Chains A and B, each alone.
Chain A
Amino acid sequence: MARSLTFRAAFVSILIFAAFILAWHLSTRGTSAVQQMDPEYAKLMGITATQGKSAMPGPLDVGQKLWEHLKRPFYDNGPNDKGVGIQLAFSIARVALGYLLAVLVAIPIGFLIGMSPLMSRALDPFIQVLKPISPLAWMPLALYTIKDSSLSAIFVIFICSLWPMMINTAFGVASVRKEWLNVARTLEVGTLRRAFTVILPAAAPTIVTGMRISIGIAWLVIVAAEMLVGGTGIGYFVWNEWNNLSITNVINAILLIGLVGMVLDQVLAFAGRMVTFPE
């Protein structure tokens, strides 16, 4: 039954995909009325103006362009013409760096908040105020103080990844079952050993859930951040291609952003399954 459900779900997925592609193809195929224009002028114009072709590319155009990108992902023809592989690598590296910094800060602080009711109350107002700030609002401040656009983007990733991880860690640590802590107490387990052998494994599923939320947010924010800071990265690529009026490339970038985001999420989902324990 489960197998046949999987099979049927896959079938419906393919059906939906095919219907979408077909609708897309049909809606972008048509041509509209063409204005009369001077042939000299028409030479300067694209096929959109001369043949009434829709400016929105069809699935075949996008697929063809995607194939070109995938064939040569790492070419580098100067600042404004780099392969999507390179652009994605820049984005992933920024996210990884900012995210890892956030892990290093958020998890110890989360532990502290979770273990100490005093620190929990003392830090709560700061977290409550800082958490809802859009990460991009930090950008000018980061640019001014760091004076480096690439590092500023990393800082923005850091700040947006911080809160979900910190809050989840604190929650996970604070809600470790009292009976497990009592086991550690009756065994005279020291604070550090208790943190690593009881609290960390008990809170790990909650912590990894926070990390999963954070990586999702970080990947959302990097696109916007790179549109602002420019230079490299998939977000810059999207904006650059928009300025080139290459909707095909924009659609391809959107697709790749989605795929990379999915992979990042699945990696954390896998980590979550690794640390989850059945009760």
Chain B
Amino acid sequence: MAEKFISLEGIAKRYPAPGGATTTIFENLWLAMNRGEFTCVIGHSGCGKTTVLNILAGLDAPTEGTVIVDNLAIEGPSLDRAVIFQGHSLLPWRTVMGNVAYAVSSKWRRWSAAQVRTQAQKFIDLVGLTGSEHKHPAELSGGMKQRVGIARALSIQPKMMLMDEPFSALDALTRGTLQDEVRRICQETGQTTFMITHDVDEAIYLADRIVLMTNGPGAVMAEIVENPLPKERERTEIHKHPLYYAVRNHIIDFLVTRSRTFVSQTPDFDPRRVPVVRPGVDGPPLDPDSTVIRLASLGH
């Protein structure tokens, strides 16, 4: 943690509830991310993952606390933080080129049209959409739309990328291909990435660190799982890695039971010192039998 590139400092989000009370989605969240790191947040629906991402993006303001990016407290959205939305949210009246160029010309306002096109083309090529520049989003498949979303986010060369379940609406095959692409691009560009998912395998494949969030309201970041798998990993091979099931079982175990019970069972939890765990590397291994049963009941 020598260099805290991005830091959530005690953020909270509360909404007024009927009857003058307030509902606390989460409070006192602390998280630091390093430059070039891929962080995944995993947790059940309603735990406030998307709210955390929106706060990071600047689209939503925390009720308490601040977010520091590169030593500056953020104030609203910024071109430094590109968002890949869950729904691709492309502008349907613009072509693929138009959508990417819109982002490019928003970042570099003095650029000539030719410069904007060159930059946009570079990233359209990067996500493998060469030849589809003049298509409108309605003519593209779900996976291609999400590729445009990725190209748009990358084209402004942000300091960090924020992804809100970017592949959840895609079929398994397309999802796999896009995961490969994102991993390749992030490794090539050294992009700092914050991603929300509830796909455990996706998190293990992509992330360097996986943040486990308990159920809301009153969600906390319970643990940070440091991914023990080697940096060079293949999507089709990772399940053969000796540590793969230790990580996977640890996360699923958390999602199935501990996400509910964690807060009540850990009264002395210090949100500023979230424990970092490396399943399979340190600590006793989990009981494999119990996890297998839970796996079956989860439908994974």
Q: Mark B76-118, 1 if CB is under 8 A from A, else 0.
A: 1111011101010101110000000011001100000000000
Given A182-B83, A277-B136 in contact, is the A188-B77 Cβ separation under 8 Å? yes
B109: shortest Cβ distance to chain A, in Å? 9
B91 is contacted by which of A185, A186, A198, A278 (Cβ under 8 Å)?
A198
Given A201-B91, A277-B93, A277-B136 in contact, is the A186-B102 Cβ separation under 8 Å? no
Q: Complex Cα distance A177/B90, Å?
A: 11
Hey, which bits of chain A sit against chain B, CB under 8 A?
177, 179-180, 182-183, 185-189, 197-198, 201-202, 277-279
Q: In the complex, which range does the number of interface residues on chain B fall in?
A: 20 to 34
| Contact call B59/A186, Cβ cutoff below 8 A | yes
Q: Complex Cα distance A258/B20, Å?
A: 60
| Contact call B103/A187, Cβ cutoff below 8 A | yes
A selection of 24 A-B contacts at a CB cut-off of 8 Å is A180-B91, A182-B85, A182-B89, A185-B58, A185-B59, A185-B77, A186-B57, A186-B58, A186-B78, A186-B79, A186-B81, A187-B102, A187-B107, A187-B156, A188-B78, A197-B102, A201-B91, A202-B93, A277-B92, A277-B138, A278-B136, A278-B138, A279-B137, A279-B138
Q: Complex Cα distance A197/B98, Å?
A: 11
Q: Complex Cα distance A188/B85, Å?
A: 16
Q: Complex Cα distance A46/B205, Å?
A: 97
Q: Collect the chain B residues with CB atoms within 8 Å of residue A197's CB.
A: 102
Extra contacts besides A185-B76, A188-B79 (12): CB < 8 Å: A182-B77, A183-B89, A186-B57, A186-B58, A186-B79, A186-B81, A186-B82, A187-B77, A187-B79, A187-B106, A188-B106, A189-B106
Q: Complex Cα distance A201/B102, Å?
A: 14
| Contact call A179/B78, Cβ cutoff below 8 A | no
Q: Collect the chain A residues with CB atoms within 8 Å of residue B87's CB.
A: 179
Q: Collect the chain B residues with CB atoms within 8 Å of residue A183's CB.
A: 85, 89, 91
Q: Collect the chain A residues with CB atoms within 8 Å of residue B138's CB.
A: 277-279
Given A185-B77, A187-B107, A278-B138 in contact, is the A179-B89 Cβ separation under 8 Å? yes
| Contact call B136/A180, Cβ cutoff below 8 A | no
Of all chain B residues, the one with the shortest Cβ separation from A193 is B106
Of all chain A residues, the one with the shortest Cβ separation from B158 is A186
B28: shortest Cβ distance to chain A, in Å? 26
Within 8 A of A (CB), among B30-76: 57-59, 76
In the A-B complex, the 4 residue pairs with the smallest Cβ-Cβ separation, listed nearest first, are A179-B89, A187-B106, A277-B93, A278-B138
| Contact call A180/B103, Cβ cutoff below 8 A | no
Q: Collect the chain A residues with CB atoms within 8 Å of residue B83's CB.
A: 182, 186
Q: Collect the chain B residues with CB atoms within 8 Å of residue A179's CB.
A: 85, 87, 89
Hey, which bits of chain B sit against chain A, CB under 8 A?
57-59, 76-79, 81-83, 85, 87, 89, 91-93, 102-103, 106-107, 136-138, 156
B76: shortest Cβ distance to chain A, in Å? 8
Of all chain B residues, the one with the shortest Cβ separation from A194 is B106
B183: shortest Cβ distance to chain A, in Å? 23
Identify which of A187, A188, A197 gathers the most chain B CB atoms within 10 Å of its CB: A187
Q: Collect the chain B residues with CB atoms within 8 Å of residue A277's CB.
A: 92-93, 136, 138
Q: Collect the chain A residues with CB atoms within 8 Å of residue B58's CB.
A: 185-186
Q: Complex Cα distance A277/B139, Å?
A: 11
Q: Complex Cα distance A201/B156, Å?
A: 23
Of all chain A residues, the one with the shortest Cβ separation from B78 is A188
| Contact call A278/B77, Cβ cutoff below 8 A | no
Q: Collect the chain A residues with CB atoms within 8 Å of residue B79's CB.
A: 186-188
Q: Complex Cα distance A279/B103, Å?
A: 20
Q: Complex Cα distance A279/B76, Å?
A: 29
Q: Complex Cα distance A188/B81, Å?
A: 11
A208: shortest Cβ distance to chain B, in Å? 13
Q: Complex Cα distance A182/B59, Å?
A: 7
Q: Complex Cα distance A177/B92, Å?
A: 11
Q: Collect the chain B residues with CB atoms within 8 Å of residue A186's CB.
A: 57-59, 77-79, 81-83
Q: Complex Cα distance A278/B91, Å?
A: 11
Q: Complex Cα distance A186/B59, Å?
A: 7
Of all chain A residues, the one with the shortest Cβ separation from B138 is A278
Q: Collect the chain B residues with CB atoms within 8 Å of residue A201's CB.
A: 91, 93
Q: Complex Cα distance A183/B83, Å?
A: 8
Q: Complex Cα distance A168/B50, Å?
A: 33
Q: Complex Cα distance A42/B146, Å?
A: 86
Q: Complex Cα distance A198/B102, Å?
A: 10
Q: Complex Cα distance A198/B98, Å?
A: 12
